[in-house]
Amino acid sequence: MRDWQKQRSERSARLNAGSHYASGKMVPPDKAKAFLEAVIRPGDRVCLEGDNQKQADFLAEVLADVDRSRIHDLHIVQSGIVLQAHLDLFERGIARKLDFSYSGPQGAALARALAAGKIELGAIHTYIELFARYFMDLTPHVALIAAVQADRDGNLYTGPNTEDTPTIVEATAFKSGIVVAQVNKVVDKLPRVDIPADQVDFIVEADKPFYVEPLFTRDPASVTESQILMAMMAIKGIYAEYDVKRLNHGIGFPTAAIELLLPTYGEQLGLRGKIATHWALNPHPTLIPAIESGWVEQIHSFGSEVGMDDYMSARSDVYFTGHDGSLRSNRLLCQTAGLYACDMFIGSTLQIDIAGNSSTVTPGRIAGFGGAPNMGSDPRGRRHPSAPWLKAGREASDGQGTLTRGRKLVVQMLETFGEKMKPNFVERLDSIELAEKLNFDLAPVMIYGDDVSHIVTEEGIANLLLCRSPAEREQAVRGVAGFTDVGRARNRNAVEALRQRGIIRRPEDLGINLLAASRQLLAAHSIKDLVTWSGGLYQAPSKFRNW
């Protein structure tokens, strides 16, 4: 007779083992280590909530400190490898295998650990790709999550940084896994319930609030005039030409420049209400002037941003908020919105090759992908029409055929040279060499060239939708690659021919006056200006305060 209830029996055994260190659901912080040693088993798949922003840092440090004779060979399945403790798990042999999405601040340490054979890498995913696998072949046995508050029944309030939590809990709790939450405080009554108590098994009140990384704050004072020029070209040559209303912005300075130009340059062009009204976007402080100037209808967010809470509460017509007034974010749903309901993704990258493939892997650094490959890809399952989608589709198909499908606009913005005069355009991506060195089956590519519709540099815009052959595409890329070796190897006649066909457009072709590309054009010149625009509601993190 087959036992069909093994997972439930296993769960009961773990709950029972954990309950020795808990009073009801409450685990005292000083017993957290013994508790984790009781509920986690060797070889478990564990999601130690490390999101793009919030970190279950208390539980991470406790897990990195467990007795490795009791807990070892864990398979870590979480979106962000952000904390030192995340890498300590592998250094100490507590964890062995890793499936993740993003590793921004630990990108260099992660590359070193991979090269040293400390980590067996499953794959680098996009966010929703990893979340999808939580329900298929990477379901966590144990989820260690972070919330702001719990009540005595175990209901959780996540605050504005809900992020990945509902998705992690859904996969774990409904497949007989164990859900443990660290909270900043246990209270009698929650402002709102983000995760219901019957999906939460144990609560630990941490000694300090969980860590949140301010990732999306760009100081207007650091925006350069080249970035302003690129932003002007993007607004006039792409947003206005395709009537892009629904979009996502990446986190780089070029798109921050666009946000700061909407109320000035965009207004001069008469575009308010015609472009950039609906957003899948983290709460970028640099969008405050556009919001205050009436540009933005609504924003759904993947996560929150440090300092933006009061502003967002006060602008609930724009942001998604709970009945308590605070932001509700959700990474899975916002990424889905970015995939299916946005007509454009526009973001920065670190490297582009002559086929338009784009990567953020640089020698010795594996930053992961986050959401860019998902939002920066043409969703082949999309079926609803919109003006920009249809126009892009017509351009890509050359008007051939009666069943022309639409195309998403996927725009990569980058200056031709990066830090220390490193060329951002290359014949071959660094990622290929890294994949060979580390024996990856697949070289990490953030956005494949056949998904990229436009490249914007200070030299101009290349429209790859209009290219009709790989050779044309290569010259279109070289034609905006400036004075890099890739750019200087262009065929000047071919590039001039592409310009005649509107495939390459220079600032002068777009009627942009270079003298206007000035910092005077930014709606805010400093973080302090953003605070002023917000009426004092935006509370800039201290590291951005210089007044």
Partner 1 sequence: MEQFQVHGAAKRRASGHRRQVITGANASGNLEVLVERVLPDLECQVEVATAVTGFRPIWEAVIKEFFERTSPGGLRFSINDGGARPDTVTLRLMQSVQLMEDKA
In the complex, the residues that contact partner 1 under the rule CB under 8 A are 224-226, 229, 415-417, 421, 457-459, 482-483, 488, 513-515, 517
Residue 257: CB minimum distance to partner 1, A: 13
Q: Which is nearer to partner 1, 195 or 258 (CB)?
A: 258
Q: Which is nearer to partner 1, 224 or 397 (CB)?
A: 224
Rounded CA-CA distance 175/156 in Å is 20
Q: Which is nearer to partner 1, 303 or 482 (CB)?
A: 482
Rounded CA-CA distance 238/33 in Å is 54
- Helix 127-134 crosses helix 165-173 at what angle (to 10 degrees)? 20
- Other C-beta atoms lying within 10 Å of the C-beta of residue 29: 14
C-alpha distances (whole Å) from 470 to each of 338, 354, 473 are 28, 9, 5
Q: Which is nearer to partner 1, 468 or 488 (CB)?
A: 488
Q: Which is nearer to partner 1, 198 or 508 (CB)?
A: 508
- Other C-beta atoms lying within 10 Å of the C-beta of residue 317: 10
Q: Which is nearer to partner 1, 259 or 458 (CB)?
A: 458
3-state secondary structure of 455: strand
Backbone Cα Rg of the chain? 24
404, two tokens: 């022309």
Q: Which is nearer to partner 1, 301 or 475 (CB)?
A: 475
Q: Which is nearer to partner 1, 59 or 235 (CB)?
A: 235
Q: Which is nearer to partner 1, 249 or 490 (CB)?
A: 490
Relative to beta strand 202-205, strand 178-186 is parallel
Q: Which is nearer to partner 1, 147 or 481 (CB)?
A: 481
Rounded CA-CA distance 436/434 in Å is 5
Residue 398: CB minimum distance to partner 1, A: 31
If you write DSSP's letter for every residue of 94-141 in order, what string do you get?
SEEEEEESB-GGGHHHHHHHHHTT--EEEEE-BHHHHHHHHTTT---S
Amino acid found at 496: E
Rounded CA-CA distance 164/331 in Å is 6
C-alpha distances (whole Å) from 545 to each of 259, 337, 447, 529, 540 are 20, 33, 35, 11, 7
Residue 483: CB minimum distance to partner 1, A: 4
Asked if 357 and 350 touch (Cβ cutoff 8 Å), the reply is no
Residue 108: CB minimum distance to partner 1, A: 24
Q: What are phi and psi of 296, to 5 degrees?
A: -105, 125
329, two tokens: 């974010």
421, two tokens: 């005069």
Residue 488: CB minimum distance to partner 1, A: 6
Of the candidates 309, 288, 286, 319, the residue with the CA atom closest to the CA atom of residue 544? 286
Residue 431: CB minimum distance to partner 1, A: 23
| Residue 177, burial from CB neighbour count under 10 angstroms (0-12, 13-18, 19+) | buried
Of the candidates 103, 128, 101, the residue with the CA atom closest to the CA atom of residue 377? 128
Residue 520: CB minimum distance to partner 1, A: 13
Residue 103: CB minimum distance to partner 1, A: 28
Residue 223: CB minimum distance to partner 1, A: 12
Residue 264: CB minimum distance to partner 1, A: 18
